[in-house]
Amino acid sequence: MDFNKSIFENRKEKDSPFLVAHRGVCGANIPCNTIAAYKIALSQGADVVEIDVSKSKDGVYYVFHPGMEHVFLRSKRLISEMDSSEVDAMFLVNQDSVATSYKVPKLSEVFALLKDKVYINVDKFWTDIEGISNEIRKAGVEKQVIVKTYEDEKSLEGVKKYAPDFMFVPLVRGKDNSTDRLKADGINVIGAEILFGKVDDPCVSDEYIKSMHEKGRLIWANSIIYNEADVISAHKTDDISLTDGPDKGWGWLIDKDVDFIQTDWLLMLKNYIEERKNEKA
């Protein structure tokens, strides 16, 4: 990836969507949001790596999904309730809840690994916009980072104050209410992450996607399932792609002309895209 070019130029040079590795590539003994998971994502050809950010009680930033301590650390305490020395002494568990040798990486370590290699999607940015922005600038990864928040006024004001130059993507559910306004306010809006429960929701309509592309903006879609009760891609998911055929999930999103697909099955999606290209050649 050439970070001297804009993300729009890099997207134009690809004939398929950017591949986003959700929390890296993990499974079996390798936990998500670890250095190992991100190394695998790089080796499998991710264009974007998604990371989650938590902060310890004494102000050290880690790559960890807030609120999931009971799952990945088997801890009743949150990282936000621990000192960094306590976090550093803990070990993540694997998918069978067995302790591994992997530890929770510091945000600075992950930035150092990914610098100059891939785009970095910083999730949970809204939890501490000022502090995380400072960490991004300290690491020198401003050109690579894509940040996102919901469309609430508090988060958007934080972006305008502390991160107006970062590539920004609001999370849009149902209908886009903010991208035009934020662009006019000087925010570096590069597109929208669309969350849609039904295939006829406004944010996934052909008209909306076409209008965004005409404005030079990109569309981020998700095939991941974080919670089956929270439908964010009208069931056009990794699960359906793997069990009923990729045309029903990933193919549908590609045919919609989205610019990013966030997945937990990076290599399978990559292989499917290559197969589609070969069939059309």
Question: Rounded distance, CA 54 to CA 67, Å?
Answer: 9
| In-domain check, residue 10 | no
Which of 17-26, 150-159, 169-178 has the least mean pLDDT? 169-178
- CA of 3: how far to CAs of 143, 239, 277, in Å? 6, 33, 26
pLDDT band at 178; cut points 50, 70, 90 = confident
pLDDT tens for residues 90-112?
Answer: 999 999 999 999 999 999 999 99
pLDDT cut 90: percent of the chain above it:
96
Q: Residue 130 pLDDT > 90, yes or no?
A: yes
| In-domain check, residue 5 | no
| Section 34-39 average pLDDT | 98
- In total, how many domains does the chain have? 1
The parent domain of residue 135 ranges over 16-280
Question: Rounded distance, CA 113 to CA 118, Å?
Answer: 10
Question: Rounded distance, CA 111 to CA 21, Å?
Answer: 15
Which of 30-39, 175-184, 189-198 has the least mean pLDDT? 175-184
| In-domain check, residue 4 | no
| In-domain check, residue 129 | yes
The phi, psi pair for 255, rounded to 5°, reads -65, -25
Q: Residue 281 pLDDT > 90, yes or no?
A: no
| In-domain check, residue 3 | no
| In-domain check, residue 184 | yes
Q: Residue 1 pLDDT > 90, yes or no?
A: no
| In-domain check, residue 243 | yes
For position 230, which CATH number holds? 3.20.20.190
pLDDT band at 8; cut points 50, 70, 90 = very high
| CB contact at 8 A, 139 and 166 | no
Q: Which residue has the tokens 């890296």?
A: 24
Structure tokens at 232: 């964010």
Q: Residue 48 pLDDT > 80, yes or no?
A: yes
| In-domain check, residue 11 | no
Task: Report the candidate in 263, 187, 22, 258 with the shortest Cα–Cα distance to residue 121.
Answer: 22
pLDDT tens for residues 223-263?
Answer: 999 999 999 999 999 999 999 999 999 999 999 999 999 99
